[in-house]
Amino acid sequence: MGRIAVTDGMDDQAIMTLENAGHEVASNHYSIDELLDGVLAEFDAVVVRSATKLSADVIESSSSDGSKLGFIGRAGVGVDNIDISAATQNGIIVCNTPGASTRSVVEMTIGHFIASARNIARADRSLREGIWEKKALKGTEIAGKSLGLIGLGRIARGVADAAASLGMDVHAYDPYVQSSPDWINMHDDVDDVFRSCTHISVHCNLSDETRHLVNTTRIGMMPGVGNDGTECGNHIVSCARGGIVDESDAAMALENGQLRTLALDVFETEPLGDSPLLSMDGFHGSPHIAASTLEAQGRIGTEMVSLLMEYFETGRPSTSLN
Ligand code: MLT
């Protein structure tokens, strides 16, 4: 039976299933100093979300002589907080749960677009201050507008379906996909997506290639007028990873009107501290909760339990990232 560290929380039912199977589960968030001191070396497996950063240094310290650590589970999709090549060099298997939160993130993305176009967060803020802004808060419909998807993986495809059913024309850029539905307008150049769309949704990984991909130059290319001729302004949503949207460029674009709204679930620094965005009417945000639903966390927990059980039974789950 194994010792499993769960450092950023996991569904209660999943923890119970592991304990009922005889494993010991320690739910504890460790500081960076504890991680660098090698606290994970005494566990067989660790399950993280995004808050625990398993850098090469942490992985090295967890892999000293006598270390038992052989499995890193990412309860979610993004693995930018795990140094996979350091894990591979130290013989540690890395697994994630790529499909379990798709529906939740799709719904959150569409929710942010509608909240943006109809000023829902801004209306709530002023209502609480006792201001009845009925005239000032005229919004626009998302129907009849163009949505540009940066990245066309599982979540983006779900957003594309939902947006098309709401009457949006869908464009996308993803140099890594081979095929896509013919009703999605694919572009070879990301700039063409910005030139074609009043609404942009970010769905790529954070990498050197995508850091600050959404910046002053590209926001400046957005048309501000929908296909239906409505002066709807430009709108950007990101529920992908902080750092893809250049937050200071986006704040400037909100200030000068090039961007009408920006909705972020993910930030360059999390938790978000003092940010100029917080004083801007056109901005609203959420604290990295796009995958935080009962349903998604339940599915993530179930998948993670299967991966862990397979690891303890066979030494290698049938799906892994290395
Ligand atoms: C993910 O990559 O799965 C999401 O960002 C959710 C999370 O980290 O909690």
Q: Is residue 274 part of a domain?
A: yes
CATH of the domain at 207: 3.40.50.720
Q: Is residue 163 part of a domain?
A: yes
Claim to verify: residue 24 and residue 133 sit in the same structural domain: no
Best CA proximity match to 316, nearest among 74, 95, 86: 95
Q: What is the pTM of this model?
A: 0.95
Dist. CA 49 → ligand 1 center (Å): 6
Which tokens hold the place of 76? 């979610």
Q: Is residue 82 part of a domain?
A: yes
Burial degree of 140 (CB within 10 A; 0-12, 13-18, 19+): buried
Best CA proximity match to 21, nearest among 319, 304, 318: 304
Q: Is residue 66 part of a domain?
A: yes
Q: Which atom of ligand 1 is nearest to the CA of 291?
A: 6
How many structural domains does the chain have?
A: 2
Q: Is residue 203 part of a domain?
A: yes
What gap in Å lies between CA 258 and CA 170, rounded to an integer?
A: 21
Q: Which atom of ligand 1 is nearest to the CA of 50?
A: 8
Claim to verify: residue 274 and residue 302 sit in the same structural domain: no
Q: Is residue 245 part of a domain?
A: yes
Dist. CA 257 → ligand 1 center (Å): 31
What gap in Å lies between CA 172 and CA 187, rounded to an integer?
A: 6
Claim to verify: residue 113 and residue 244 sit in the same structural domain: yes
Best CA proximity match to 265, nearest among 299, 301, 230, 292: 292
Domain housing 219: 102-285
Q: Is residue 322 part of a domain?
A: no
Cβ of 52 closer than 6 Å to ligand 1, yes or no, is no
Cβ of 74 closer than 6 Å to ligand 1, yes or no, is no
Q: Is residue 176 part of a domain?
A: yes
- pLDDT tens-place values along the chain, 322 residues long: 899 999 999 999 999 999 999 999 999 999 999 999 999 999 999 999 999 999 999 999 999 888 999 999 999 999 999 999 999 999 999 999 999 999 999 999 999 999 999 999 999 999 999 999 999 999 999 999 999 999 999 999 999 999 999 999 999 999 999 999 999 999 999 999 999 999 999 999 999 999 999 999 999 999 999 999 999 999 999 999 999 999 999 999 999 999 999 999 999 999 999 999 999 999 999 999 999 999 999 999 999 999 999 999 999 999 999 9
Local structure of 222: helix, strand or coil: coil
Catalytic residues: 241, 270, 288
What gap in Å lies between CA 86 and CA 104, rounded to an integer?
A: 31
Claim to verify: residue 298 and residue 274 sit in the same structural domain: no
Claim to verify: residue 77 and residue 169 sit in the same structural domain: no
Claim to verify: residue 88 and residue 118 sit in the same structural domain: no
Claim to verify: residue 40 and residue 179 sit in the same structural domain: no
Claim to verify: residue 280 and residue 172 sit in the same structural domain: yes
